[in-house]
A = this chain, B = another copy of it.
Amino acid sequence: MAVLLSQINGELNGKLVGQPDLPISGIASLKEATKGCISFISHGRYQHLLKDFKGSALIVSEALQGFVPPEVALIVVDDPYWAYARLTQFWRRAHPRPQGPLIHPSAVIHPDAWLDSDVEVGPLSVIEAGARIGAGTRILARVTVMADVIMGKRCVLHPGVVVGADGFGFAQHESEWVKIEQLGNVVLGNDVELGANTCVDRAALGSTTLCDGVKIDNLVQIGHNVHIGPHTAMAGCVGVAGSARIGARCTFGGGAIVLGHLEVADDVHVSAASVVTKSIKSAGQYSGLFPLDDNQSWEKNAASLKQLHALRERIKSLESQFQKKASP
């Protein structure tokens, strides 16, 4: 079902250049757009794609407006990527998926769980006793929300998510592991999103806490008693060990690992596959990953790396020998 360009602009509050009643039948990327499609350009590095643009309308910044072929209708905005995000939300509302009952009859919800208004629970999900779920939260198919988990409003939990499983807590006694019952819970703020098959463990004592606006991708592990500040985002396959305390507005690239019992300041950005082994006290970008190389070069360099400390000593020795010779 097509919508009119003017309707779209009504959502985005941009400046419409072109025919307001142009029918828009789809959203597509710059490269894949065809007649009837609207697209967006978010960065100057895609400018070279504009001359071959086949779509009918474009969301664009003032700076790039001049590079668009004249036959293309425009919505000119300050932040085209943000406008695109809002466009997708409008599009979803205008093209809703077939909707069954909010609570799917196959979901298993304990009578002692409490769900606020408009909570969605997908097929074959489980909500255990004592869980409390805020208004407008969407729990999709095959999710487990365990006992006493508390979550705010407008959260989204994708399929396979497990919130509130036991943290990994054992005391070692005579070479065996003695279970520490995990007596705490999990608290999610508002607008938290958890990706498919992601796990957030309950606290040993107290709470594991994800503050408002935290966004977590798929297959991420959040250990017990972790605290994640507002609006921090983590890409897929990240692991955060127990009792780590992570600041606000941080980002973690895919596969990053954060060790336990440490602190990460606000506005820290950790690159993919990097390992946080100590507390990070100031904002910035941090990295630590072995650069990829052809296998043969890697083998040579990796072998040398195991002697790096010895090489450093040899350099030191050369320097002091040279020094001695140089001085009379």
Question: Contact residues of A with B, CB < 8 Å?
Answer: 27-29, 32, 79, 81-82, 84-86, 88-89, 91-92, 97-98, 104, 106, 108, 110, 112, 122-124, 126, 128-130, 140-142, 144, 146-147, 156, 158-160, 162, 165-166, 168-173, 175-183, 193, 195-197, 199, 201, 204-206, 213, 215, 217-219, 221, 223, 231, 233, 235-237, 239, 241, 249, 253-255, 257, 259, 270-278, 280, 284-295, 297-309, 311-312, 314-315, 318-319, 321-322, 325-326
Complex Cα distance, B168 from A280, in Å, reads 26
Contact of A293 (CB < 8 Å), options: B98, B199, B306: B306
Q: Are B98 and A110 in contact (CB under 8 A)?
A: yes
Beyond A82-B171, A142-B144, A288-B293, list 4 extra A-B contacts (CB 8 Å).
A85-B169, A92-B183, A122-B126, A315-B315
Chain B residues with CB under 8 Å of A213's CB are 176-177
Complex Cα distance, B276 from A298, in Å, reads 13
Chain B residues with CB under 8 Å of A158's CB are 162, 165-166
Chain B residues with CB under 8 Å of A294's CB are 284-287
Q: How far is the CB of A52 from chain B (nearest CB, A)?
A: 17
Q: Which 5 A-B pairs have the closest CB atoms?
A: A88-B181, A288-B292, A85-B171, A285-B295, A300-B309
Complex Cα distance, B146 from A169, in Å, reads 27
Contact of A181 (CB < 8 Å), options: B89, B241, B290, B306: B89
Q: Are A291 and B305 in contact (CB under 8 A)?
A: yes
Contact of A309 (CB < 8 Å), options: B217, B287, B304: B304
Q: Are A141 and B141 in contact (CB under 8 A)?
A: no
Q: Pull 14 A–B residue pairs with CB atoms less than 8 Å apart, ordered by A.
A: A82-B178, A92-B181, A108-B141, A126-B141, A126-B159, A168-B195, A197-B197, A255-B275, A271-B295, A287-B298, A288-B298, A297-B306, A300-B309, A318-B322
Q: How far is the CB of A93 from chain B (nearest CB, A)?
A: 9
Chain B residues with CB under 8 Å of A237's CB are 221, 237, 239, 257
Q: Are A177 and B233 in contact (CB under 8 A)?
A: yes
Q: Are B291 and A288 in contact (CB under 8 A)?
A: yes
Q: Are B303 and A309 in contact (CB under 8 A)?
A: yes
Chain B residues with CB under 8 Å of A175's CB are 231, 249
Chain B residues with CB under 8 Å of A169's CB are 85
Complex Cα distance, B294 from A286, in Å, reads 4
Q: Are B322 and A306 in contact (CB under 8 A)?
A: no
Contact of A218 (CB < 8 Å), options: B89, B104, B221: B221
Q: Are B293 and A286 in contact (CB under 8 A)?
A: yes
Complex Cα distance, B53 from A189, in Å, reads 29
